[in-house]
Amino acid sequence: MKTRHFSIISMVIVFITMISDVKAQPLAGDKESARIFVQKFYDWYGTLGALSDKPVKGADPMTICLNHKPAYFEDKLRNGIIEDEKAQAKDPGEIVGLDFDPIANAQDTRTGFQTGNIRQQSDNFFVDVHDIKRGQSQKAVLAAPLVLTAEVAKINGQWMFLNFIYPKSDGGGNLLSILKGLADDRTKWAAEDNKKKHNK
């Protein structure tokens, strides 16, 4: 009786382990799906603003992006960018927010955006984006300068950007950390201004 009881428990444990292993495995094609999502987004983003020979008029690329594709950005990232843009709009005479295009990692034009290597960590995928025009070989793409690495994940069946990670050659860091640092600075500056007003 004890042997049979032990066997049943063993079978249950093995079954649970198998289910866990299956759940941990990425769905077939997720890596390629993540790459396609990032590439299609950058194909579209490359047509905006100063990054294009025929820029879209009326707004900067980041604003157009948030207005047209807000669901492409996870809440924390999207809200951080919106907060930063609002803060900069309130103080146009000073640089209190991002002073570069965080999605292109540039202050001017790019030759193009092409995806390269992809790495997976848990449910997140890290897709390298290179500065090179379309139609080049994979070898040429991988040899081209790295623009950034886009961190994406599938949330409720929809691919979303979680963060943008910048290469060490550009100082490293990532967009979420930069946005937090700028927000902290604005809070500190506001507190210092209030203190000065009270001391007058």
The answer to whether residue 95 sits within a structural domain is: yes
pLDDT tens digits for range 66-89: 889 999 999 999 999 999 999 988
The answer to whether residue 161 sits within a structural domain is: yes
pLDDT for 14 beyond 60: no
pLDDT for 95 beyond 90: no
Average pLDDT of the chain?
A: 84
The answer to whether residue 191 sits within a structural domain is: yes
Tokens read off for 2: 């004890």
The answer to whether residue 13 sits within a structural domain is: no
pTM, to two decimals: 0.80
Residue 133 CA to residue 44 CA, distance in Å, equals 14
Tell me the average pLDDT across 119-130.
97
Query: Which CATH number fits the domain that encloses residue 121?
Result: 3.10.450.50
The answer to whether residue 114 sits within a structural domain is: yes
Band (54; pLDDT cuts 50, 70, 90): low
The answer to whether residue 51 sits within a structural domain is: yes
The answer to whether residue 40 sits within a structural domain is: yes
Domain that holds residue 58: 28-199
How many structural domains is the chain composed of? 1
The answer to whether residue 178 sits within a structural domain is: yes
